[in-house]
């Protein structure tokens, strides 16, 4: 009998076919085991759930928080020197289209400087006494970038 070292080196699959065809296989061996693939675990375990499921789990879904902000208009800086030449203190309010806000208060006979940032093309200033009496209403265009002096209350000249 020849030793295994003397056999020519044929691929293993050819030798297995030859051995089975010659009847060299053990007839008492167990039948081949069938294998089945478990399809419930075919997906990657690290994958995120479907987008539909994420939508229901996200408490902020539908608010478009990741949407880019619409910056279509340019901001203007409105530099104002508010001058009160009157004998009463005054409150100054500004409205650029989204509602009126308190800007500052100016004591009688003094002035103050304020800067307003807005996207509006015009700002309406309104001055009033602390008691609520309106003094002046002024519209200011925002295109010019310069310091503007605005008289919010003037002494009444007697003729």
Of residues 150 and 37, which shows the higher confidence score? 150
Q: Is the pLDDT of residue 123 over 90?
A: yes
21-44 mean pLDDT: 55
144 domain-assigned: yes
57-66 pLDDT per residue, tens: 666 666 666 6
- Residue 144 has a pLDDT of 83
4 domain-assigned: no
- Decide: 127 and 153 in contact? Cβ < 8 Å: yes
| pTM for the whole structure | 0.53
Identify the band that residue 153 occupies on the pLDDT scale cut at 50, 70 and 90.
Answer: confident
116 domain-assigned: yes
- Residue 13 has a pLDDT of 52
60 domain-assigned: no
DSSP assignment of 66-131: TSPP---S--EEEEEEEEE-SSS-EEEEEESSS-EEEEEEE-TT-EEEEEEEESSSEEEEEEE-TT
128 domain-assigned: yes
126 domain-assigned: yes
Output the domain CATH number for residue 91.
2.60.40.2890
64 domain-assigned: no
Number of domains comprising the chain: 1
CA-based nearest residue to 152, from 133, 141, 143, 144: 133
> Structural domain of residue 100, as residue ranges?
76-153
69-109 pLDDT per residue, tens: 555 578 888 999 999 999 999 999 999 988 999 999 999 99
- Decide: 80 and 101 in contact? Cβ < 8 Å: no
59 domain-assigned: no
Identify the band that residue 34 occupies on the pLDDT scale cut at 50, 70 and 90.
Answer: low
- Residue 122 has a pLDDT of 92
Q: For the chain, what is the mean pLDDT? A: 74
Q: Give the distance between the most distant pair of CA atoms in the chain.
A: 142
């Amino acid at each position: 009998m020849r030793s295994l070292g003397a056999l020519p080196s044929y691929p293993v699959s050819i030798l297995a076919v030859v051995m089975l065809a010659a009847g060299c296989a053990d007839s008492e061996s167990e039948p081949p085991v069938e294998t089945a693939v478990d399809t419930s675990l075919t997906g990657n375990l690290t994958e995120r759930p479907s987008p539909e499921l994420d939508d229901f789990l996200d408490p902020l879904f539908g608010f478009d928080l990741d949407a880019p902000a619409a910056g279509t208009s340019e901001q203007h800086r409105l530099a104002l020197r508010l001058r009160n030449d009157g004998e009463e203190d005054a409150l100054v309010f500004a409205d650029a289209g989204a509602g009126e806000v308190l800007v500052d208060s100016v004591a009688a006979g003094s002035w103050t400087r304020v800067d307003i940032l807005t996207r509006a093309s015009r700002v309406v200033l309104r001055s009033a006494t602390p008691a609520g009496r309106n003094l002046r209403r002024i519209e200011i265009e925002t295109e010019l970038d310069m310091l503007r002096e605005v008289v919010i209350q003037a002494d009444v000249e007697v003729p």
